[in-house]
Amino acid sequence: MADLYGIIGCPVGHSMSPDIHNRSFKDQKLDAVYHRFHVEKDQLGAAVNGIRALGIKGVNVTIPHKENVIAYLDHVDKTAAEMGAVNTIVNLDGVLTGYNTDGPGYLESIKPFLTSPLSEMKCLIIGAGGAARGIYTALAHAQTGRIDVANRTKEKALAIIQEYDAAVPGRTLSLEEAECHLAEYHLVIQTTSIGMSPNINDQPISLENISEGTLVSDIIYNPIKTAFIKDAEQRGCRVIPGVGMFIYQAALSFRHWTGKMPDIQLMESVVLEKLGGK
């Protein structure tokens, strides 16, 4: 019987994780299958118990469960614990261990676009959810020059900075304050779900004050270019769509489950084919 893998989230119907993982299983000649599992917030504990009961070998975790799922796991990797969020679960004989590949995947995706060391860059993270925590921690490990976090609720942004005891300068901002200070940053990272299909015209903040040449990144990959990315392009910014992060975090999850690194170019081609992009 094929090994079973999947993704849990709410919503989860839009996820292309089954497409890339099932194609990668086939490419690696592994007898495995990957499914979507829609899990409401109040059913998360039951779903995690179901992973054990059904012998599901591995699971990705997406919005809104990345932080809350930790309470139901047996072990959490040190990096995921620092991030305060899990996006990958490995089931080894009923023992569930959580990992986070968001931050490392994000760093891999932006490397080709960096024209100066991260240690010399001022970065702004928009949002304070699980993905923001992962990216913040990865940037802190990479000794980024400055990392500010902007969120609708400043207290949640502050929690990210306080919970990770890093010797990296940073402050918390409201979204309105972030809009005013955009010209200060070399890298702006959009980590919320605002602008995701089908709400493709939405943006988390205005980019009116951003400087030309700023590196602007959005972790959303559907659509390939969000309204946020299109707006940044029109203002003369260099842009990084979310496909790269999606692919690299998925590849690192695949390696946690199977011990094998999948074909990155194959994964990218699957995503672009599904989205009708290039």
Q: Checking phi first, is residue 127 left (phi over 0); if not, alpha (psi -120 to 50) or beta?
A: left
Is 191 annotated as ligand-binding? no
Is 245 annotated as ligand-binding? no
Is 249 annotated as ligand-binding? yes
Is 130 annotated as ligand-binding? yes
Is 195 annotated as ligand-binding? no
Is 278 annotated as ligand-binding? no
Residue 100 · residue 134 · CB < 8 Å: yes
Is 9 annotated as ligand-binding? no
Is 16 annotated as ligand-binding? yes
Catalytic residue among 26, 29, 41, 66: 66
- 269-277 long-range Cβ contacts below 8 angstroms, 24+ apart: 270/16, 270/19, 270/20, 270/23, 271/16, 271/19, 271/20, 271/221, 271/243, 271/246, 271/247, 272/224, 272/243, 274/16, 274/19, 275/16, 275/221, 275/222, 275/223, 275/224, 275/243, 277/224, 277/243
Is 201 annotated as ligand-binding? no
Is 171 annotated as ligand-binding? no
Is 109 annotated as ligand-binding? no
Is 91 annotated as ligand-binding? no
66 catalytic per annotation: yes
Is 156 annotated as ligand-binding? yes
Give the contacts of 117 (CB within 8 A, at least 6 positions apart): none
Which positions are annotated as active-site residues? 66
Annotated binding site for shikimate: 15-17, 62, 87, 102, 221, 249
Binding residues for NADP(+): 127-131, 151-156, 219, 242
The binding site comprises 15-17, 62, 87, 102, 127-131, 151-156, 219, 221, 242, 249
